[in-house]
Amino acid sequence: AESLASLDAALDELAAQPDVKGLLLTGKPFVFAVGADLDAFGGATEEFARAAAARGHRAFRRLADLPFPTLAAINGACMGGGLEIALHCDARTLSTAAAGIAFPEVFLSIVPAWGGTQLAPRVVGAANALQAIVANALDNNRVMKPAQAFQMGFADRLIDAVDFLDDSVALLERLCTGEEQIERPPAPDAGDLDEALATARRTADDRVHGATRAPYVAIDLIEFAAGGGALDEGCRREEDALAELLPARQAQAAVYSFGLTQHRVKRQPWKPATPPRAVGKVGIVGSGLMGAQLGALFLQRLEVPVVLTDVDEAVLERARGLVEGELDKRVQRGRESAGKAEFLKSLVTYTVSREPLAGSGLVLEAVVEALDVKRRVFADVERVVDAGCLLATNTSSLSVEAMGEALAHPERVVGLHFFNPVALMPLVEVVRTPASSQEALATAFAVAKRLRKSAVPVADAPAFVVNRLWTRFTGACGEAVNAGNDFAEVDDAVKALGLPMGPFELLGLVGLKVAANVARTLHEAYPERFPLDANFQMLGVTDLPGVYDWARGRVPFEEVTRRWRVTDGARPLTGAQIRTRALEAAADEIRHMLDERVVADARDIDTCMLLGAGWPFFMGGICKHLDQIGVSERLFGAPLVGALDAAFSEVSDVRG
């Protein structure tokens, strides 16, 4: 509201100056405009949403109706309402240094409602509008780089950052004198439009499975504009759409998710006050796929010497190929100079010896998931590193305390649980033991921040948060297959919640052996809730990459079909029954985790599921979703998530 009022005031001032020949809009350094303040959307009513859309339409229409040329000089990040401002101008220039251009609204389960769905098809064509507003938003809120945004037509000129402002002013001057005019591409024919709309609807089905209306409403609005609908009527439809979507549970959950992932986790209210130790060298013990990915991440983000160790020379050579291959890809994509890539490659040591780990500020183990092996690794490492070196484990389920209890300095041992694929998954579970020092924890959080990861503190409990909760959820889904349901049938039932992948599809990403190891750890700790299912353990002893043989489609491997045993006399479940059982199992496990103080409160579980398990923003993580659909009230008599007015208060201690 304040930004719209400022725009109105500026337009009033312009109206009082009859000699104005043109208007150039630009932003502060690095930011053009990033749209509305989402914090104001919590608890929004239909009336609030409709009024907010109408205010934007009125202000932006005044901008579009100015009697002289207007130019948006997009100098930096341009998101949502900021991009809608730019589309209301007669012309747009874009700096090569702009951080990113995007319509994030559909990702947040609403739609662009200040003219975006009506103007984008008119400016860039329906296909590009659908890509930017729908497909990109559903692809984890993908942003456009300047070159891509220019190619798609969102800017009329792409200008080097050094000359950006001068060249933008020069273009506006030519527009004012009539020396230059902006030409737009012709509108697509009906066949192209129909194909683009069908593709967008398939994308929405694949991503959200009908669980939120936002992408479908956005597609309908774009179709209206691309089909020649009147601008005024299109804007009225945007107002109707926002009035429907913003108060709905999906958008309210997205506002909650945004607060968790963009405010709370970045502010790190749980970070110890103790200063962290400097980390100028990193060691990785275990250079398989996970270790190699971690080595590449530390190298690219910290730009310090990295030592990759393994007992197998062949594994080290594969690790070298992955690390150097990632750098080569960055050079090919223009993200790194060839000289810089070669320098970074020179910082890496690949060795079967532990001795080169000396001088490391952090050593992270990523060896096989066996407690005795990890204990030996830490004992070996402790003999060669300084007393202040942080020792971290990437275990997915084992006791971190047990790994370090025999060390001379167990206080420097923490868990740093990354998720696969390491480069893409933003979450790191920072695991504290009763012995972990404040300095060790502070260093762990500082390293996670340098890696551009979102760190959440968790207690040293079996499988921590994501793996423990997902194993309980998947176990309930496995019971349906034991009862005679097909794997794909169960996956589809779960995806109807809005999840991007079903549990058996996800097993292919997690790995069958990893999942079986986690299940065994949880069975040993909580046998009554995590029975050792023979079918899941069967999967863990195979060498299969997952349940499905994707070469034949979403069809289980013949070995899985042959060896999976269906319970005698059981009857298959309906999709609704599968979802209910899975959600109730998850809710029960969450209650246990909160009682055990694995995390400070339910918000941390939601953050972990959003960032580590891919739960969509419009579900708000799992706890918020359980609250919204009434499961928490039915099972526990109260919501899992506290009142939002306390959503960003300081956290209580995690068990440790």
pLDDT tens for 594-629 read 999 999 999 999 999 999 998 999 999 999 999 999
pLDDT at 10: 82
pLDDT band at 646; cut points 50, 70, 90? very low
Residues 6+ apart with CB under 8 A from 417: 394, 395, 396, 428, 429, 431, 464
Which position among 417, 437, 489, 523 bears the catalytic label?
Answer: 417
pLDDT band at 256; cut points 50, 70, 90? very high
- Reply yes or no on whether 467 is catalytic: yes
Query: Could you tell me the two tokens for 527?
Result: 């046998």
**pLDDT > 70? residue 537:** yes
At 58 the three-state DSSP class reads helix
pLDDT tens for 353-407 read 999 999 999 999 999 999 999 999 999 999 999 999 999 999 999 999 999 999 9
Compute the distance between CA of residue 221 and CA of residue 134 in angstroms, rounded to an integer.
Answer: 11
Q: Three-state SS across 217-252?
A: HHHHHHHHHHCCCCHHHHHHHHHHHHHHHCCCHHHH
pLDDT at 655: 61
pLDDT tens for 17-62 read 888 999 999 998 888 988 777 878 889 999 999 999 999 999 999 9
Sign, Cα dihedral of 202, 203, 204, 209: positive
Compute the distance between CA of residue 628 and CA of residue 176 in angstroms, rounded to an integer.
Answer: 54
Which position among 109, 136, 257, 396 bears the catalytic label?
Answer: 396
Nearest Cα to Cα of residue 417 among 395, 400, 450, 391? 395
- Reply yes or no on whether 394 is catalytic: no
Per the prediction, the chain carries an average pLDDT of 94
Which position among 429, 489, 505, 589 bears the catalytic label?
Answer: 429
Percent of the chain surpassing pLDDT 90 = 87
Domains in the chain, CATH or no CATH each: 2-247 (3.90.226.10), 282-459 (3.40.50.720), 466-597 (1.10.1040.50)
Residue 587 pairs in a beta bridge with none
Radius of gyration of the chain (CA): 27
- Reply yes or no on whether 485 is catalytic: no
Report the range of poorest mean pLDDT among 177-181, 342-346, 565-569, 651-655: 651-655
Question: Which residue is it, tokens 């029975």?
Answer: 531
pLDDT at 642: 79
Which position among 109, 360, 394, 467 bears the catalytic label?
Answer: 467
- The kind and range of the H/E element at 349 are strand 348-351
pLDDT at 647: 38
Secondary structure letter of residue 271 according to DSSP? -
Secondary structure letter of residue 89 according to DSSP? S
Can you give the pTM of this predicted structure? 0.91
CA 459 centroid distance within chain: 23
